[in-house]
Amino acid sequence: MGNYIEDTDITTWPDGTTDTVKQRRIDLAEEMVEFLTGQFFYEKSFDIEVNGTGTRRLFLPFEAPIIGVTNLFFGETEIDSDNYDYDENSIYGPTFYRGRNNIRVVGTYGYSSCPKVIVEACIKIVDSENDPQLYQKYFFESESMGREYSYKRADDGGLKSGIPEVDLLIQNFLSRRPIVL
């Protein structure tokens, strides 16, 4: 039904909930997690051109980890896979000569399977929609009592999902690494 959770993962569906409503709530929960983390948690293919750096390591501009590199080209020349390797952040091996969009990389990135904490966060978001009393929620408002006292709720740099349990679950997936272009 969704990329991360199925309707059978949710135990709090109110009686009579239609499949359309279930799908909408699951989609919204997954979109919220992706928006808050700035990442997706499934596998995607890529075919990008990047600038050579003049070094033996080339960092790709992805938030999600690299799963595999199937082809590497310097200009029009394909490099044999025995001459390079990769980790979750970069490709390394030959010198990636300086140039503008002179290196083309084809492969996959993301997650082979969705991390369990992301699944749990999505379930909690849907549960909270199904039963608003299930989790404590907070809202982002400010209040002022004259000139002497004012505050802004959740101004601590928190994630702002509105559900503290969800914020704790997804906090490790924020800004995993900077984008290097």
Question: What is the token pair recorded at 100?
Answer: 């503008």
Residue 107 pLDDT > 60: yes
Residue 181 pLDDT > 50: no
**How far apart are alpha carbons 95 and 54 in whole angstroms?**
6
Residue 178 pLDDT > 60: no
Residue 146 pLDDT > 70: no
- Total H helices, total E strands in the chain: 3, 9
Q: What is the mean pLDDT of residues 8-19?
A: 94
What tens digit of pLDDT does each residue of 46-105 get? 999 999 999 999 999 888 899 999 999 998 999 999 999 999 999 998 899 999 999 999
pTM: 0.71
* C-alpha pair distances (Å), 109 with each of 9, 162, 172, 181: 26, 30, 18, 17
Tell me if 122 sits within 8 A of 2, measured CB to CB: yes
Q: Domain segments of the chain: what residues?
A: 7-39+115-173, 43-110
Tell me if 41 sits within 8 A of 111, measured CB to CB: yes
